[in-house]
Structure 1
Amino acid sequence: MAVSITVAFSTSTICTYAAFAWLPEILGDVAGSTPTEAGALLAVTGLISVPIALVAPLLVARVRNVGWLLAVGIASFVLGYAGLLLAPATLTLVWVLLIGSGSILFPVSLVLINVRTRTPAGTVALSGFAQGVAYALGALGPLLVGLLHEASGGWTVPLLFLTAVALVATIPAITLARPAFVEDELGR
């Protein structure tokens, strides 16, 4: 459970931080966006995440199976990055909205830290572990995307990398779909 939450959270930080760091340049290179258009599309990516961040915690608290919320985030990242790979200049706004919608993984992961622990000590331990790992990996996301871009000379490899990172969260999403608590797993 702890590892699953950490992987879901890490997926969010890597994919989101990389988008905020590189999306304008990606859009300029692959979609032909002007700097102004690319900046506006980046703003859209951030703006779409605001209502998602407000609604996601309410959904997590009310639903028994959060797997579908995680699936929405994973699918959004995958479809958004795949769209930039396959048809970047067509439906660019849709791809950007999907990438921004993938950010649902972030608030869902934060809320899961609280709702999947039984004790304050469990919450503190899980929070320190999950956030420590996720933010460290998230900080590496933009660097890795930049290195992949430089090494490959284009955006295909970095976008495939981000798509793969998003897909990695599928297994934790399946695990997190069932209601369980971290402390219960530690007691086994």
Structure 2
Amino acid sequence: MATGATQQQLEAEVRICCIIQVRMWPIENKVPLSTSGLIEMVKMTRSWRKRAPDRPETKPTIVMSHNGYSRCGIFIGANVCIDQMDMDHEVDVFHAVKMIRINRPQLIDMKDEYKYLYDLMLHWYMTNPDYRVYDVENSPVRETSEEPEALEEGAGAESLGNGSLIPSNRPSVRSRRDSTKKGQTVYLN
């Protein structure tokens, strides 16, 4: 706001704000204990934005964290991935994180945060009926009971730029109906 603004200009800039505080994420944990709490927070935030009383074209969301970046990164990453999933019915978590980190390299800088985004997107997909477009018989789900191999840069892994390695043949969550049995690892291609 420019210095010397009139009272009328100041009143025109008043906005109603809703603060959503997350209490289900203990301060000592790098990521939330479950994906369901953050999913509910994302839904609540999106619901508020849809019915916010200010101008429909400008409904900014301000994200704050105790240290300014760790929790913000996960929330922003979740929203970017969910937007991509809603538009394209698939998501590339690696690319979303890479795009976020171009301007904010401190966001999502740990492997646990990166893995949590994958878990979150799988939860979002599995609990959202809008993505059920194929039946189980047509789903290309590969099941395995093998443990994942250790990652080495250049040998099937890419660096996040902070020493964390992620698989370069990363899975993407696509819009298909998948069934799993307890104890099986499922990779979505």
Kindly indicate which of the two structures has a greater share of residues assigned to helix. 1
Higher Rg: 2
Higher relative contact order (CA 8 A, sep 6+): 1
Q: TM-score range by the shorter chain?
A: under 0.3
Give the TM-score normalised by the residue count of structure 1. Answer: 0.26
Give the TM-score normalised by the residue count of structure 2. Answer: 0.26
Kindly indicate which of the two structures has a greater share of residues assigned to strand. 2
